[in-house]
Amino acid sequence: MKLQSSALMLFVILILFNTSLFGQTANKASDYQIIPKPAFQEILEGTFKVDKKTKIVYNEELNKEASYLSEILGAAIGKTLKIETKAEKGAIVLKLDDAIENAEGYELVVNTNEIVISGKTSTGVFYGIQTLKQLMPSEIEIAAKIASAFTIPAVIVKDQPRFVYRGMHLDVGRHFFPVSFIKQYIDLIAMHKMNTFHWHLTEDQGWRIEIKKYPKLTEVGAFRNGTIVGHHPGTSNDQKVYGGFYTQEEIKEVVAYAASKHVTVVPEIELPGHSAAAIAAYPELSCFPEEPTDLGKSPMSEKSKELQANGTAKVVYETWGVTGDVYCAGQEHTFKFLEDVLSEVLPLFPSKYIHIGGDECPKGNWKRCSNCQSKIKALGLHDEHELQSYFIQRIEKFVNAKGKQIIGWDEILEGGLAPNATVMSWRGTKGGIEAAKQHHDVIMTPGSHCYFDHYQSKDKDSEPLAIGGFTTVEKVYFYNPEPEELTAEEKKYILGAQGNVWTEYMETTDYVEYMILPRMTALSEVVWSAQDQRDWSDFELRLPNLIERYKAMNLNYAKHSLAEEK
């Protein structure tokens, strides 16, 4: 009897031991929480061990990607990994593969013997590395020492993006952010397999890019004498000079950094509206240079009042909203100024696109400006809307002659769309639908789903001050950039979508982080993963993996319930 009991006990111990061992080596679905969701994923048994002996083998065209991966893994184990061009057993292999159809597509194979990341291009390989990172401990995001060795679960991933344009916007006109944060913002874009940074560089409240031919744009236009306190129109003025700008060398630095992360920077130079900062620097750009800047019901700083009392009519805007003081469309020196500005801006950005704004341009000054009315008559135009169309089309011709194309907000549809323009649809989806039906390229960014300056809770008292609205992570996730009203052929003109970050009420980098995360994460899956593959419940299960990475990166992400009312 005792022998039977001992045998039974030994059997139980062996079972427990084997179960424990299996538990240590078997892979679980929770090991594969990848965002955005891959097109194809197969979980394999086993793991690949990364240690000091691991080498990275690469095609010569992938030197930058190999160095990037070596830096990440080397920091994690405390020793820089060697990178070589010759085949090596037990290595991590980066290679180009023409058989992959999509230019940004990739394949990732992890088994016990090697890791292979293949891409049609270096961009695809880079995205494969981003997926590989999500299979590693979250500390990998900050290049922290994890251990002398760690394992990566075995898997096969075949993946490609749904849309060619996957963007995030940042307004640095209302509030200015340092180059270090701009680079961090680009890191987040790359981490989410997004590929475009829309840099909103000029506004009523500040001009943020150095233009050497017009130094007053930064000497005067980059600084406002005060800012309203509280929600527009404001309860008072803080009386503090605020501003900043990027030198052309800093712009080049950011563009080069973005390129290393396979992110394209699209600059925005606003026209003909949202131009009060430029007008403060050069009042002759206004229809009425002698008329003082009017903040409406918003309180003006004492310094600006003093300047106006002493004969300086124009000041940089100190409140939010829209001003009627816009570029004069009836004077040739306005176009000379803008062409000069663009001639300095365009060479700084390799992107084929430049965003020229075109939104929220009140026509009141043009209606009472004799020069603008003469221009309308001379050109045989019907009204001020057609004058704006002339303005946009004239700028487009100049930009096209420089080998670039324009993007404009959907107001550029009014009065007639410029021949080669791409429309960014923000006032809902109507503008995007109209443009696609006219066979123009479209980027969808409706305020209802893609404006990350909106509140994230219905309890606004529990939230930092925001412009308004109510947009949850779930609402972002349920957005489909392809309107049902379009035919299959018309949907081909939808390039993708973008998240917009307007910073009237975002004074700090912490607040920007809070407003974009994890809504940006939801949008990344909207623009990458196939529509029929997306599932909210599944996304909720995978999101904690990204949240752990936010924590490791010390990011100030929003911690709302993700099941709030849509």
Instruction: Map out the domains of the chain as residue ranges.
Output: 27-159
Q: What share of the chain is helix, strand, coil (3-state, %, to 5)?
A: 40, 20, 40
User: Token match 């004069």: residue?
Assistant: 328
Contact 556, 492 (CB under 8 A): no
pLDDT of residue 29: 75
pLDDT for 9:
44
pTM here? 0.94
Q: What is the pLDDT of residues 190-216, one digit of tens each?
A: 999 999 999 999 999 999 999 999 999
Here the tokens at position 255 are 């563009």
Cis before 272? omega within 30? yes
* DSSP alpha helix (H) spans, 294-379: 302-309, 332-345, 364-368, 370-379
Q: Prior bond to 518 cis, omega within 30?
A: yes
Q: Is-contact 193 524, C-beta < 8 A?
A: yes
Place of tokens 């078997």: 26
* pLDDT classification of 80: cutoffs 50, 70, 90: confident
Among candidate residues 249, 31, 21, the one with its CA nearest the CA of residue 138: 31
Bridge partners for 494 per DSSP: 442
pLDDT recorded at residue 88: 80
- Give the angle subtended at the CA of 386 by the CAs of 385 and 392, to the nearest 5°: 95
In the prediction, which pLDDT does 561 show? 56
Q: Strands 206-207 and 353-357: what pairing? A: unpaired
Tens digit of each residue's pLDDT (9 = 90 or more) over 368-411: 999 999 999 999 999 999 999 999 999 999 999 999 999 999 99
pLDDT digits (tens, 9 = 90+) for 213-235: 999 999 999 999 999 999 999 99
Strands (DSSP E) found in 172-254: 196-200, 202-203, 206-207, 223-224, 228-229, 236-237, 242-243
How many whole angstroms separate alpha carbon 529 and alpha carbon 510? 29
pLDDT of residue 518: 97
Per-residue pLDDT at 238 exceeds 70: yes
CA distances to 49, 70, 231, 370, 398 from 146, in Å: 13, 15, 45, 70, 53
481-515 per-position pLDDT tens digit = 999 999 999 999 999 999 999 999 999 999 999 99
Residues of the chain with pLDDT > 70: what percent? 94
pLDDT at 320 > cutoff 70: yes
pLDDT in tens, 55-72: 999 998 999 999 999 999
115-167 residue pLDDT tens: 999 999 999 999 999 999 999 998 888 877 888 999 999 999 999 999 999 99
**Cα separations in angstroms, 266 against 182, 348, 354, 401:** 13, 10, 6, 18
Rounded distance, CA 421 to CA 357, Å? Answer: 11
Return the CATH number of the domain spanning residue range 27-159.
3.30.379.10
User: Using CA atoms, how far apart are residues 186 and 182, in angstroms rounded to an integer?
Assistant: 6
* Contact in structure between 409 and 424 (CB atoms under 8 Å): yes
Look at strands 165-171 and 92-96 and give their pairing: unpaired
In this structure, is the dihedral angle defined by the CA atoms of residues 86, 90, 96 and 100, taken in order, positive or negative?
positive
Is the pLDDT at 49 greater than 60, yes or no?
Answer: yes
Predicted pLDDT of residue 461: 87
With CA atoms as reference, report the closest residue to 500 among 198, 254, 180. 198
Q: Decide: 478 and 566 in contact? Cβ < 8 Å.
A: yes
